Structure 1
Amino acid sequence: MNRRRFIKASMALAAACGTPALATLFSREAWAQEAGIADGQSRAFDFSVLQSMARDLASQPWGGAPRPLPQTLATLTPQQYNSIQYDAAHSLWSNIEGRELDVQFFHVGMGFRRRVRMFSLDAATRQAREIHFRPELFNYNDAGVDTRQLEGQSDLGFAGFRAFKAPELARRDIVSFLGASYFRAVDDTYQYGLSARGLAVDTFTDTPEEFPDFTAFWFETPKADDTTFVVYTLLDGPSVTGAYKFTIHCEQAQVIMEVENHLYARKDIKQVGIAPMTSMFSCGNHERRMCDTIHPQIHDSDRLAMWRGNGEWICRPLNNPQKLQFNAFQDNNPKGFGLLQLDRDFDNYQDIMGWYNKRPSLWVEPRNSWGKGSVNLMEIPTTGETLDNIVCFWQPEKPIKAGDTLNFKYRLYWSAQPPVHTPLARVRATRSGMGGFPEGWAPGEHYPTTWARRFAIDFTGPGLKEAAPRGIEPVITLSNGEAKQVEILYVEPFDGYRIQFDWYPTNDSVDPVEMRMFLRCQGEAISETWLYQYFPPAPDKRNYVDDRQMR
């Protein structure tokens, strides 16, 4: 857990505390034999059983908010909650000698009130047994928990789980599912960053956002040398239920998740977000409003990248706007999209707490036909790094009606770099600052100055140096204002080209300016497309103040 994970997940709780279908199928009986820590009755289970369960559940009313927790857990502080540690001796697969993978569970408490049920599934026999809560699975340390209040609370469940991979078994986790339907993974840096979700519901509509929960998990027991494990989960919320299958590949430098979901609408839904992800952007090279700190940049992700169905590659730098912004990028059968953290240089962050230079990127690769819809991006104002303010997801074009069934398959790549990228030149960085005067001079010094905003977009990659003798042409499109002083500069330190231009307003509008640019040579595109949303200041702020005048 970190600060942002706790705040986000505790605010996100809004789902049922139990399901009649689940209780009927997996009623608890006392068994004499033991299968690791699983102590429930053995029942047949596979993905089709889970789909039937989710479908049946969708025909029933939503179960409502979670039941209250015992007082000793409900009143925990974040520090106390973090003191509760799962006992590694009781991890899910601790009885597998020489194992590559293992799983431990999170305790309920504090804001994590969802009682999530856990099941161990034998991959050969397809028999599942529940793992019931009991205090001896945890070390309470100095959390101040009165364990007497937990005795006989076998239905308390768990808050979520985390997975480990050798050689870091029980020391550093690589996958975490905790809070509503949120989950995260790492790359080879073992540093968590942005989060994904099972589903987003009404994120940007005129109705309150819903946060459906993963309410139960089934873990297939892997072989000792497996580096892949399979987990099934049931989603339940006011408007929708779902059956999910996660095949999680724990590779050396990345985690890859194959996701298959079957969604069942309880009622009409205004907005469904598929493969949603949540990140943080406070400030960067082009947006300095909240960078009055010792850190040059603060963000989990620096851009939205899209590989459109027509083959076009898009780079959209993220913003921390002064008011909420929502953008929908229309597409048909997208090839991929994601929130990326491509700047991995420590010097650009100087952060020894958040280690933003180590944060992974997340790329979504659709595996079936998604049809028409849009990649949606919501950017929320934030004053710092403790709250996620970036949301991205795919929204199908067709409205969702009660009784509808949807099926999506996709892969999630958690890694430093996305698994694919354009063969053309890529955007390396975006910068902005004062404009309207020659580079190297101060505003008004020897030259009359008209207020403007300067943008510098750095491109690197194949084809640029070869195209230079034939002529590199920046193709700039603006929704308002005009671009002047366009320059094409070769930059030796990163062996690429900087396209620099000044944006001049042509009216007093403060509406966002949509900017678009790509590079071409003799009529042929040689770069991905750069998109940007600029927020002009009010007309009375469009001036430069000479500090020597002391005003």
Structure 2
Amino acid sequence: MDRRTLLKRSLALAAFYGLPAAPLLAATRQMPAIADGEAQRFSFDWLQRLAREMANAPYRNNMRELPETLASLTPQQYNAIGYDAGHSLWHDLDGKLDVQFFHVGMGFNQPVRMYALDPDSHQAREIHFDPDIFRYDGANVDVAQLEGEDTLGFAGFRVFKVPSLTERDIVSFLGASYFRAVDDTYQYGISARGLAVNTFAESEDEEFPTYTRFWLETPAPDSTTFTAYALLDSPKVAGAYRFVIDCQPTRVVMDIEKHLYPREAIKQLGIAPMTSMFSCGTHQRRMCDTIHPQIHDSDRLTMWRGNGEWVCRPLNNPPVLQYNAFADESPKGFGLLQTERDFEAYEDVIGNYHERPSLWIEPRSDWGKGEIQLMEIPTTGETMDNVVAFWKPAAPVEPGDSLTFAYRQYWSALPPVRPDLARIRETRSGMGAFPEGWAPGEHYPEEWARRFAVDYVGGDILNIAKNGPPIMAQLEISGGRTSDIQIFQVEEFEGIRVIFDWYPTDASTDPIDMRMVLEGDGDPLSETWLYQYFPPPPEQREHPPHPLDD
């Protein structure tokens, strides 16, 4: 079972809080037919007040057991549950967007209440669960157990856009506070979360806040933008969220505003968290003993720091759990990116990793001091999300605080911004300690070393390499020693390759931090390359037997 499924199965059901009654006002847009609840007045200010009031009261865990027919579903049976498109939320709008709801069941045992919201009258009506809006053919669900269960709620919702209003969704909110979006490839990959709490805080258990309610604002028929509001709750924090979701032709852009109200002190608060998978890539081959050259949803963490520096941190599948923190102030942006877009890099006709979107975060307010934190978990396959990244504010989080963050998410093949300097194309590693171009012949070299190659493109770097000023690779390492730094001009990808060998100087297996930037006449010519290498134990620092050796 993968980590995400384990997490979802451990979620607690949040409390149901009533909306204040308000007189029904004349609506200028037709309320969706499946919204059958009593009309209630709604505003984002009211939602913030509700979240604050919840945070001032003890957490109410109203977990209820699902009917046995839903609780015992297998993944195959759950996936067989269909949705009747005629009951889609905006079906009668005949517009460019529509919404369908996910059924509760299996590991998705957190009922979420859904509301249709008219933006003109500011009236909301609840959408109650009804088995008639689902299709259960092949799902082995005893529908008789669901009769009268209108408080079951839903597990989440997904959004469709023309011309695929009933076939391929483009936005999905499902499980705890997880959500995802796609670009024009319709290929899901990386996930986001509404909030991370104590993801890797020592002596604290990780907590998974959940979206317990959504209000979905009816869009104009000709619009590809809609607004969703969400109530988040957990033992440590309550929150009010607004998502303005723009379903553009080649990407999805979300403007997110969140207001957080802690019930308790939080040691590690993760803002704009994202979760991805990295099994193996060009620089780490130990887990790629498959027909696929690479396996990953994302290949790097990229950061645009508050001081203007661009940083590329290639992802790892480490031998042991790893935490890294990158201090910053007022960051300009960061994200987990999938920069390798060629099918040949993966040769995967099922996963389609070359089509997986990147996720870029652009703060829309001053976030002040803090850290971009990165967690990498060892994994033996591609079914587990083993990479987490988010922003952690430097200021302590105490009960009674009121915290506001605004940011924009870009779900697209590549971020909307990039440095004018040379960019990291790829990082490679392999056997070292012999001259490049002279692979070992009869015998391997006696001394063991690891070779690294870092490719740079863009920023006119190839022309600079040809015509000056001389390029210098400023390399720093936290342990061991390096030698044989070489720079090659590579016409094939219109860039340069920097090669160096790393040699151990002791028996330590502690990770080695490497930092490199290209300079010319003392000025930076490239983004900063950060890398973490895990030396093998001394008994493994030997070359494999050479076929010509006795």
Q: What's the TM-score once normalised by structure 1's chain length?
A: 0.95
Give the aligned partner of residue 476 of structure 2: 477
Separation in 2, partners of 1:16, 1:111: 11
Distance 1:58-1:437 versus aligned 2 partners, 3 A rule: same
Are 1:283 and 2:280 matched, yes or no? yes
Match for residue 142 of structure 2 among 140, 146, 170: 146
User: Are residues 519 and 65 of structure 1, via their aligned partners in 2, closer, same or farther at CA, if it must alter by over 3 Å?
Assistant: farther
2:363 aligned with 1:366, yes or no? yes
Equivalent residue, structure 2, for 1:25 = 20
Contact 1:427 1:459 in 2 (8 A): yes
SS at match of 1:466: helix
1:442 CA displacement: 3.9
Offset, 1:17? 2.7
1:174-193, CA deviations, whole angstroms, 9 ceiling, x for partnerless residues? 00000000000000100000
User: Which residue of structure 2 lines up, in the alignment, with residue 434 of structure 1?
Assistant: 431
Output the aligned Cα RMSD: 1.8
SS at match of 1:473: strand
Matched AA of 1:25: P
SS at match of 2:48: helix
1:548 equivalent in alignment to 2:543:
no
Alpha-carbon distance between aligned partners in 1 of 2:370 and 2:411, rounded to the nearest angstrom: 24
**The one of 44, 47, 50 aligned to 1:53:** 50
Q: Which of 119, 123, 139 pairs up with 2:119?
A: 123
Equivalent residue number for residue 246 of structure 2: 249
Q: Look up the match of 2:516.
A: 517
Aligned residue runs from structure 1 range 294-373, under 5 A: 294-373=291-370
Cα offsets for 1:188-240 (capped at 9, x unmatched): 10000010000000000122110010000001101110010000000000100
1:184 to 163, 180, 184: 180
Task: In structure 2, give the amino acid aligned to 1:12.
Answer: K
Q: Is 1:171 aligned with 2:167?
A: yes
- 1:368/1:410 contact within 8 Å kept: yes
Aligned mate of 1:258, from 255, 258, 262: 255
Shift of 1:8: 1.0
The one-letter code sitting in structure 2 at the alignment partner of 1:317 is P
* 1:545 CA drift (Å): 3.2
Aligned match of 1:207: 204
Give distance in 1, aligned partners of 2:31 and 2:474.
68
Letter in 2 for 1:126: H
Letter in structure 1 aligned against 2:399:
A
Partners of 2:33 and 2:48 in 1: CA distance:
27
**Aligned-pair distance for 1:60?**
1.7
Q: Which amino acid aligns with 1:504?
A: Y
**Pairwise CA distance, 1:23:** 2.6
Q: Secondary structure at the match of 1:548?
A: coil
Contact 1:14 1:213 in 2 (8 A): no
Offset at 1:26?
7.0
For 1:427 and 1:444, locate their aligned partners in 2 and report how far apart those are by CA, in whole Å. Answer: 32
Q: Which residue of 1 aligns with 2:389?
A: 392
CA, structure 1 residues 350+149, in 2 after alignment: closer, same or farther (shift >3 Å)?
Answer: same
- Of 68, 71, 74, which residue of structure 1 is paired with 2:71? 74
For residues 356 and 475 of structure 2, what CA distance do their matches in structure 1 show? 32
SS in 1 for 2:4: helix
Are 1:113 and 2:113 counterparts? no
Aligned to 2:222: 225
Corresponding residue to 2:151 among 140, 148, 155: 155
Letter in 1 for 2:342: D
Tell whether 2:60 aligns with 1:84: no
Q: For each residue in 1:276-299, what CA deviation from the matched residue of structure 2 results, as whole angstroms up to 9, or x when unmatched?
A: 000000000001111111100000
Find out whether 1:410 has 2:407 as its counterpart: yes
Structure 2 residue matching 1:347: 3-state secondary structure: helix
Q: 1:397 to 1:211 in 2, by over 3 A?
A: same
CA distance in 2, matches of 1:266, 1:106: 30
Q: For residues 546 and 11 of structure 1, what CA distance do their matches in structure 2 show?
A: 44
Question: Could you say what secondary structure the match of 1:533 adopts?
Answer: strand
Amino acid at match of 2:120: A
Query: Which stretches in structure 1 are left out of the alignment for 5+ residues?
Result: none
Contact 1:15–1:65 under 8 Å retained in 2: no
CA offset at residue 34 of structure 1? 6.9
Matched residue, 2:493: 494
Q: Deviations over 1:83-110 (max 9, x none)?
A: 001111000000112x000000000000
From 447, 450, 453, the equivalent of 1:453 is 450
SS of 2:93's equivalent in the other structure is: coil
1:422-447, CA deviations, whole angstroms, 9 ceiling, x for partnerless residues? Answer: 11000000000000012243447478
Distance in 1 separating the partners of 2:80 and 2:57: 39
Q: Measure, in 2, the Cα distance between the counterparts of 1:550 and 1:232.
A: 68
Residues 448 and 126 from structure 1, CA distance in 2 versus in 1: closer, same or farther, beyond 3 angstroms? Answer: closer
Task: Specify the alignment match of 2:532 in structure 1.
Answer: 533
2:27 match: none
Are the equivalent residues in 1 in contact too, given 2:170–2:186 (CA < 8 A)?
yes
Check whether the contact 1:15–1:64 (CA below 8 A) recurs between aligned residues: no
Cα drift, residue 544 of structure 1 = 1.5
Secondary structure at 2:105's aligned position in 1?
coil
Q: 2:418 aligns with which of 417, 421, 430?
A: 421
Residue type of the partner of 2:226?
F
* Secondary structure, aligned partner of 2:172: strand
Deviations 1:509-547 (A, max 9, x none): 211000000101111101000000000111122122333
